[in-house]
Each structure stands twice: as structure tokens, then as C-alpha cells.
Chain A
Amino acid sequence: MGILEVKGVGKRFGGLQALGDVNLSIEENTVHAIIGPNGAGKSTLLNCLVGKLIPDEGSVTFAGTSVLGRKPHEINQLGISRVFQTPEIFGDLTVMENMMIPCFAKRDGAFRMHAIESIEEEAELIAKAEAMLADVGMLEKREMIASSMSRGDKRRLEIAMCLVQEPKLLLLDEPTAGMARADTNNTIALLKEIKEKRDITIAIIEHDMHVVFSLADRITVLAQGTPLVEDTPDNIKGNPKVKEAYLGETQQV
């Protein structure tokens, strides 16, 4: 039994069946990629996992707990962190403040009136945040305003913000979309490092086959709202059904 179990999930938007009977099981400590052509329902599926959308049918269970009907922040507190297609960070705040917020969220839960402490006194959390920044190689940028950084750095910061919460499952929504090649390779290297160093499960939605094949342990191919195949990367490469549904439409890897 995997850490995340998706059973018979369906979602309609008006007359459009975005997802139908999706079954998916993600094993602990693996990197699981979900690929598929545009409009296959990848993003809808992801939104159902994090509580942004509520599926019409089926069940989503994370580590034995159902996530259905829970709000996004509650699902995050269960141990699912999400990285967005365009980096979502606190743009007006400094890099260090960006790191402190998830630290407080991890320690204090969804809401706490900690209005009389001073941030400077939180030595333990500061050390934790700095260690994480050092891990992603951004320690020297700690006082920068987050919105003034490059896209690659924003992505790094966002991943660091998710990791500092020590999530059990990290969801990545096209983490290299719109990035230059160098930034893409940096991100791949960073994700590989994370995978090796930490006990973490990663689910990744990606368009770029280069990223998928260099990271994934297992791949699920989604087409028209339902899973087509689920297999190892090597088998996926050779699968004629996948080629027809997906790879045939884009350049060969």
C-alpha cells in the first residue's frame, strides 16, 4: 500500500469530464512522475490531491487518512507540500523571512497569536532555516527581497520552503516550465540531491521528458482524464500505446 492512494477519482466541469476513474498508488520514498498531453487532466488531478478542488467521486487517502473535504492548509499540515508551476513565494519578504514562515507553520499549526515573541529570539528555527538555505546554496542571499531574484532562484527558494517543513510527500507541478536549460539542469540536480539525501516521496507533473526520465522511478501516463499505463521509465519509453497517445505528438526524447 502506497503513501498516497487515489481510488476511482472523477471530476467534471460542466459537461467536460476532466478526470474519470483515476486509480493511482504512489509508493513511499519513490519519485513518481505523471505525464500526459495537454488537457489530459494532470493539473486537475493535482488540485484534487491538495484540496483546491473536491473530486465528484472516488477517494484520496494520504498515509491512511482521507484528504477529501479538507482545506488546503489542513492537507499541508498532514504532510503534503506543493511546488507551483510559477514559483509562489512571498515576494515582498526577504529570503530568510520566506523560510521562517514555513518553520512557524510547522511548529505552531494553522494559526497562533504569537504576537509577543520576537523573531530574533527563535534561535532554533533560525538555525533550521539557515541550514536549509545552505543546503540549496542560497545562504548568501538570505537578506534579498524574494521578488527581485531570478526565476531559478525563486524555484530553489520555493522548494527549500517546502522541504523545511519536512513533508512526507512533495508535489511538483511542472517545476522547470519556462526555464532556461541551465536553470532546468540545476533544478534536476537539486531534486536528485533531495531524493538521495532525504526520506521523501516526490510526485512530479512534467512536460519535459528530459526531466522525467532523469528523475522518475515510476511513471503514470494520463490521457483524456484516465491513466493509460503505469510503469518504469524504461518500459514507458518502449511502450507503443504511450508513443501513440503522447510521445508521438512531441519531439522524440
Chain B
Amino acid sequence: MFGLNKKDSSFLLIVIALTIATPILLQPFAEGSELAQFNGGYPDLMQKIAIFGIFAVGFNILFGLTGYLSFGHAAFLGIGSYAAVWMMKLLTMNVIPAILLAMLVSGLFAAAIGYVSLRRSGIYFSILTLAFAQMSYKMAYSVLTPLTNGETGLQLALDDPRILDGAVEGSSLPVTNIFGLAMNSSYKLEALGRVFTFNVGYYFCAFIAILAFYVAIRLFRSPFGMMLRAVKSNQQRMTYTGLDPKPYTLAAFVISGMYAGLAGGLLAAMDPLAGADRMLWTASGEVVIMTILGGAGTLMGPVLGAGVIKYLENIFSKINESVLHGWFHWLPDGVEDVVIWIFARFTGEGWHLTLGVTFMLVVTFLPGGLIEGLRRLSKRIKHGSQKRDKYDDPDPEHRPGPGKRVAGE
């Protein structure tokens, strides 16, 4: 199907099915029940998961395949957002031209930054990309204010030209749409004591995400993808096999920059404003973490990582002490206080603590990321409790290091 082998086709079909059903799957708890807090089926969160899924899948094309760890990928996300908002200000509120421009502009920036940064490898490459991203961030705040609107962030205004849409009627800002269908319109369905929200914006993001995912599968399975893995594995052998690693790496950098730009454009399409904060190094760190948490170099890992982190961020940060009281009111008073105190440290304001602890646990015990964990789990279920021999799964302590050599050094 579509040039994929049987295994990948069925994999893609499962992903499509899951994406379509997300508004239902993320709403497992009845409205008003104590666990309703854990429901994630609202448009904002679902859109974020799809968008950051795209971001992480793109990042993985660079990091997972070539091993080049960029610490400045958020710059392309921010550039994409700015480009998209400008398109909406100048041309039309239709999101298609906006995200196309976002991809184009971030692709150009990626080509320029990549061309310079890829002259170095290892941590030097990471720091170069970090430096470029921080520079973009600081410049967006200061000198580039006419383009970025500085600290306030770039927003829509009533007097924007919007050549294709014509003048705005009334005093409210126009909404983003796709050929007239507003992004923020939703269809709500009440059933089984739950409210399911089917949102246009989410399905638009999901459609793009599936496309992006499909392209990533094709890329992984192509000779080009194999060359990128060769870059990670042994650049010396690669050059002495008559291949030039530079253009391959640059191509991967530009492609993943365009994925980031696409994600940035989509963020703007869902909520038409763009701020410099999107380019901050913490945002770059976030995508690194999503990718590694899920499993770098795997197809599904980055999406899973993005989903888990965005879900944690949105759900855990909303749980406050009164919610906790609701859950634990049946405990004896003293015990309740202790339990609530402990939980409160990890939720609400303290959700970052959950995040930090999650990283440490996953990196320490599951070096391959969550995907590796799922694989081990399914293996254990399949093989039952039968004794495994020592070659069964690789010992994380003794797995081969990154065996990359740099040619000419």
C-alpha cells in the first residue's frame, strides 16, 4: 500500500485508526467522576499532541537516524509560527498558504544554519545549533521587533490587509479556517455519560500528522534513510565507500527543520499568535526529551514521547489540592494529609518534578525509551515466564557505544 510493505502498511493503518479515535480514546472516564481529571480528550491537548508529534518525528529524522543532536530545533518551530502568522495577516486566514510558507521559510533557515553547523560534529554541533537558536530568540526579542512584535508576540489585528479575504466586518478578529471551515468549530457528542468533542482543528492536525508520519516511514525505509543511518554508524567507512556524508546530513537537517516549521505553522493555525518563547532553548530541550523518552531512531517512539509529555503537562498541572481531597477523602485524616502532601508535590505547580523523575527513571532503566519498554513487555507476555538466554535482549550496560568515527580527524 502506497509503496509500503505489509508490516508498515498495517502499522500505518493502526496509527490512522488510533488518530481518528483519539477524541474517544482519551475520554475514558465518565463526566463528573473523580477520574474525569485524567480525561485528555479536549481539542487543545489533542492538537498539541498531534503537532508536537510532528515536531518530534521530524527531529528524529535528524537525531535518530544520523545521530547529530541538535539543541536548537525550536528555532525552526518559532520561525514557522512567525511565517504562518504573517501569511494570515497579509494574505488570508486560510491555513494552507500559512503552513506552506512556514515550511518554506524554516526550510531556508535550516539550510543556512545547517550548512554552517554541520561543519562540526559531536557536542560542538549541539552547541552551534544551540547558539543559533538562542541568537534567533534574543533577536526576535530585540532588533527584529518590527517583524516579531517583540515581547508581546505577533498577533492578528483588525487593520491587517488580508488581501484575499477582504475587509473584516464587525469588531472581532477573524478565525483561522480551511476553505471556510473554522478551525475552532467542534461537534460535541454526548454518549455513555461522556462528552466527546470532534474538533475541526484536531482532525486537520491529525491529517497532517499522518501525512508527515507516512513520509517519515517512507524515508526510514528508503536508501536515503539507510545512508543517514550509515552517517551515524561510521562516517569513515562511508567516505571510503565513495559517499559524501555532508549533503546527506544537510538534507536530513533541512527535512527535520521543515517538519519543525510545519509544526510551528500548525501551532499558529490553531491559535494565530507567535511569540519568541517558542524558540527558547527549553523548547529545544523539550523535543530532544520527547524523542529520547519515546525511543530515538524508532518510528513510533517520538510520537509516543510527545503524547506522554504533553499529556503529563496538561493533566498533571491541573490537579490541585482540592482535587486530591476529592480523591482521598475516604482515608483517615492523618493519612489523608500525608498522601495529599506527597501527591501535591508531583501535581499542579509541581508537575515539573514528575517530569524530572520520569526522565531519570526512563533513562536509567529503559535506555531505548518507552518503545523499548513496550517491546520488552510484549516479549515477556509472549514468552511467558520461560527462562531467557543471555542473548535474548541486549544488556543496557554493555550495549555497544555510538561507534561513529569522523572522517579526516
Residues of A whose CB lies within 8 Å of any CB of B are 50, 52, 71-74, 76-77, 81-82, 84, 88-93, 97, 100-102, 104-106, 108-120, 122, 147, 161, 165
Are B403's CB and A110's CB within 8 A?
no
The interface size bin for chain B is: 20 to 34
Which of A71, A101, A105 counts the most chain B CB atoms within 10 A?
A: A101
Interface string of B201-225 (1 = CB under 8 A from A): 0000000000000000011011111
CB distance from B45 to the nearest CB of A (A): 33
Q: Evaluate contact between B233 and A161: CB separation under 8 angstroms.
A: no
Instruction: Report chain A residues within 8 Å CB of B234.
Output: 88-91
Q: Smallest distance from the beta carbon of A49 to chain B beta carbons, Å?
A: 12
A91 and B400 form a contact (CB under 8 A): yes
Residue pair A117, B222 in contact (C-beta under 8 Å): yes
Does B5 make an interface contact (CB < 8 A)?
yes
Say whether B403 contacts A147, CB under 8 Å: yes
Q: Are B248 and A111 in contact (CB under 8 A)?
A: yes
Let me know if B221 and A116 touch, CB within 8 A. Answer: no
B244 CB-CB contact with A under 8 Å: yes
**Smallest Cβ-Cβ distance to A88: which chain B residue:** B237
Q: Does B139 contact A (CB under 8 A)?
A: no
Nearest CB of chain B from residue A53's CB, rounded to whole Å: 10
Q: Is B73 an interface residue (CB 8 A)?
A: no
Secondary structure at the B interface, as helix, strand, loop or mixed, is: helix
Q: 7 nearest interchain CB pairs?
A: A76-B242, A115-B224, A90-B233, A110-B244, A111-B247, A88-B237, A105-B242
**CB < 8 Å: which of B232, B239, B400, B403 contacts A72?**
B239
A161 near B230 with CB under 8 A, answer no
11 A-B pairs in the complex with CB atoms less than 8 angstroms apart:
A90-B237, A91-B403, A92-B232, A101-B230, A109-B242, A111-B247, A117-B223, A118-B5, A118-B221, A119-B221, A120-B221
Among B4, B225, B240, contact of A115 (Cβ-Cβ < 8 Å): B225
Cβ contact within 8 Å between B243 and A111: yes
CB distance from B9 to the nearest CB of A (A): 12
How many Å lie between the Cα of A202 and that of B17 in the bound state? 57
Give bound CA distance, A108 to B221, whole Å.
Answer: 17
Q: Which of B223, B229, B230, B238 has the most CB of A within 10 A?
A: B223
**CB-based contact A97/B244 at 8 Å:** no
Q: What residues of B have a CB within 8 angstroms of the CB of A161 in the complex?
A: 237, 241
> Is B14 on the interface with A (CB-CB < 8 A)?
no
Cα distance A59–B68 in the bound complex, in angstroms:
37
With A104-B226, A113-B224 known, 5 other A-B pairs at CB within 8 A are A72-B408, A89-B237, A90-B230, A120-B5, A161-B237
Please, which residues of chain B bring their CB within 8 A of the CB of A116? 3, 218, 222
Partner of B222, one of A52, A109, A119: A119
Question: Which single member of B224, B242, B251 contacts A165 (CB below 8 Å)?
Answer: B242
Determine the distance from Cα of A172 to Cα of B405 in the docked complex, in whole angstroms. Answer: 19
Asked if B263 is at the interface of the complex by the 8 Å CB criterion, the answer is no
Max chain A CB contacts within 10 Å: which of B218, B243, B400? B243
Nearest B residue to A102 via CB reads B241
- Cβ of A110: which chain B residues have Cβ within 8 Å of it? 242-244, 247
CA distance A106 to B243 in the complex (A): 9
Give the distance to chain B from A129, nearest Cβ to Cβ, in Å: 12
A77 and B230 form a contact (CB under 8 A): no
A110 to B400, CA, bound (A): 28
How far, in Å, is B98 (CB) from chain A's closest CB? 25
Distance from A146 Cβ to chain B, minimum over Cβ atoms (Å): 8
Tell me, in angstroms, the Cα distance from A11 to B265 when the chains sit together.
Answer: 55
Question: Chain A: which residue is nearest B224 at the CB level?
Answer: A115
Contact (A100, B244) CB under 8 Å given A91-B400, A120-B5: no
Measured in the bound complex, the distance between the Cα atoms of B242 and A74 in whole Å is 6
Nearest-neighbour CB distance to chain A for B218, whole angstroms, equals 6
B66 → chain A closest CB, angstroms: 12
Is B407 close to A, CB under 8 A?
yes
Q: Does B371 count as interface, using CB distance less than 8 angstroms?
A: no
B227 at the binding interface (Cβ < 8 Å): yes
Is B314's beta carbon under 8 Å from chain A? no
**How near does chain A come to B57, taking the closest CB pair, in angstroms?**
15
| Given known A-B contacts A89-B234, A91-B234, A111-B248, A122 and B239 have beta carbons under 8 A apart | no
Q: Contacts of A165 on B, CB cut-off 8 Å?
A: 241-242
Can you name the residue of chain A whose Cβ is closest to the Cβ of B8? A118
Closest Cβ of chain B to A170, distance in Å, is 12
Give the docked Cα–Cα distance between A8 and B265 (Å).
60
B242 and A88 form a contact (CB under 8 A): no
B37 an interface residue at 8 Å Cβ cutoff?
Answer: no
A104 vs B243: C-alpha distance when bound (angstroms): 9
Give CA–CA (A114, B248) in the complex, Å: 11
Whether B239 pairs with A73 at a CB distance below 8 angstroms is: yes
Tell whether, in the assembled complex, residue A72 and residue B240 are in contact, meaning their CB atoms are under 8 Å apart.
yes
Chain A residue with Cβ nearest B400? A147
The one of B222, B403, B408 in contact with A114, judged by C-beta atoms closer than 8 angstroms, is B222
Q: Is B39 an interface residue (CB 8 A)?
A: no
A93 touches B222 (CB 8 A): no
Complexed CA–CA distance, A140 and B4 (Å): 26
Rounded to whole angstroms, the CA-CA distance of A115 and B400 in the bound complex is 28
Question: When the two chains form the complex, which single residue of B5, B221, B240, B251 contacts A76, counting CB atoms closer than 8 Å?
Answer: B240
Judge whether B218 and A100 touch: CB under 8 Å: no
Complex: A86 Cα to B101 Cα, angstroms: 49
Known: A115-B218, A117-B222. A77 touches B233 (CB 8 A): no
Report B-chain residues with C-beta under 8 Å of the C-beta of A111. Answer: 243-244, 247-248
Task: Given A91-B234, A92-B233, A113-B251, decide whether A104 and B223 contact each other with a Cβ distance below 8 A.
Answer: yes
Q: How far is the CA of A13 from the CA of B135 in the complex (A)?
A: 40
CB distance from B17 to the nearest CB of A (A): 23
**CB of B206 to closest CB in A, whole Å:** 23
Q: What are the residues of chain B within 8 A of A50 when measuring CB–CB? A: 240
Tell whether B236 is near chain A: CB-to-CB under 8 Å. Answer: yes
Nearest CB of B to A167, in Å: 9
